Amino acid sequence: MNLVSEAIEEYAQGATTPPPALLEELRAVTYARTRMPQMQVGPLEGMLLHLLVRLSGARRGIEVGMFTGYSALMMAAALPDDGRLVTCDIDPEAEAIARSFFVRSPHGRKIEVRIGPALDTLKTLAGPFDFAFVDADKSNYVRYYEAVLPLLRPGAWIAADNTLWSGNVLRPAAEQDDDTRALVEFSRHVRADARVDQALLTVRDGVTLIWKH
């Protein structure tokens, strides 16, 4: 979901480094074969994640919510040769698509797929990690945040997707659905946390960028 006009979105994408052909193919396959293809990050957000990994000099990262692997491949491409991205999901159909593209990418070997509830997977990980991208079920965003933060080194970052939720976060509380309420609570929770600084970016459906002290 984009909150800016289609013309502005197209202009922004035209002014952004385009994704490789393999990622364009993955995007087409996702739209052809999945029930909710809009869950995939777009090219603009994908490049934002790629640049965040590259600019921060990250070597180890966590992704909560892999879907068909677009964001994982964009981030993995910015990691060094010995970098590692642990990515979590629960959808076997999406996993099959993701793995079929990981094996075709020179960066797929940097990605470790963990299938199962992410909160369980996160308990098995040992830090420090340099970044985390959270893009999974909205009801658990606060729990994902609290599980991920201790695994990150000081100076690491978190990007949380969909934090504007098609603008529904502006609805009166009585008109909000469970996901909207969870995202509003997540934003309040992070803003009140003295361990971090954060900014909610109006990219695509809202991306909250969080820096750990």
Between 1 and 130, the more confident residue is 130
Distances (CA, A) of 87 to 13, 28, 92, 185, 189: 26, 21, 13, 25, 24
Whether 3 shows a pLDDT value over 90: the answer reads no
Q: How distant is the alpha carbon of residue 59 from its chain centre?
A: 17
- pLDDT-above-70 percentage for the chain: 99
- Predicted confidence at residue 6, as pLDDT, reads 87
Find all residues with CB under 8 Å of 86, minimum gap 6, and list them: 61, 62, 63, 112, 114, 121, 125
Mean pLDDT of the chain: 96
84 secondary structure, DSSP code: E
Whether 208 shows a pLDDT value over 90: the answer reads yes
Count of C-beta atoms within a 10 Å radius of residue 1:
13
- Predicted confidence at residue 175, as pLDDT, reads 95
Domains of the chain: 6-212 (3.40.50.150)
Burial of 192 (0-12, 13-18, 19+ CB in 10 A): exposed
User: pLDDT tier at 2 (50, 70, 90 boundaries)?
Assistant: low
Q: pLDDT, tens digit, for every residue of 135-159?
A: 999 999 999 999 999 999 999 999 9
- Predicted confidence at residue 5, as pLDDT, reads 87
Find all residues with CB under 8 Å of 42, minimum gap 6, and list them: 2, 13, 204
Q: pLDDT, tens digit, for every residue of 152-207?
A: 999 999 999 999 999 999 999 999 999 999 999 999 999 999 999 999 999 999 99
Q: How distant is the alpha carbon of residue 199 from its chain centre?
A: 15
146 secondary structure, DSSP code: H
Residue 161 sits at φ, ψ, to 5 deg, of: -90, 160
Beta bridge partners of 161: 207
Entry field: residues in the chain: 213
- Predicted confidence at residue 1, as pLDDT, reads 58
User: pLDDT tier at 132 (50, 70, 90 boundaries)?
Assistant: very high
With H, G, I as helix, E, B as strand and everything else as coil, classify residue 204: coil
- Predicted confidence at residue 98, as pLDDT, reads 98
For 25, the enclosing helix (H) or strand (E) is helix 21-33
Strands of the sheet containing 152-161, edge to edge, are 111-115, 84-89, 60-64, 129-134, 152-161, 207-212, 196-201
- Predicted confidence at residue 4, as pLDDT, reads 82
Q: pLDDT, tens digit, for every residue of 100-114?
A: 999 999 999 999 999
- Of the listed ranges 33-42, 47-56, 61-70, the least confidently predicted one is 33-42
Q: Which residue is associated with the tokens 């909610």?
A: 200
Residues 106, 120, 39, 60, Cα dihedral to 10°: -40
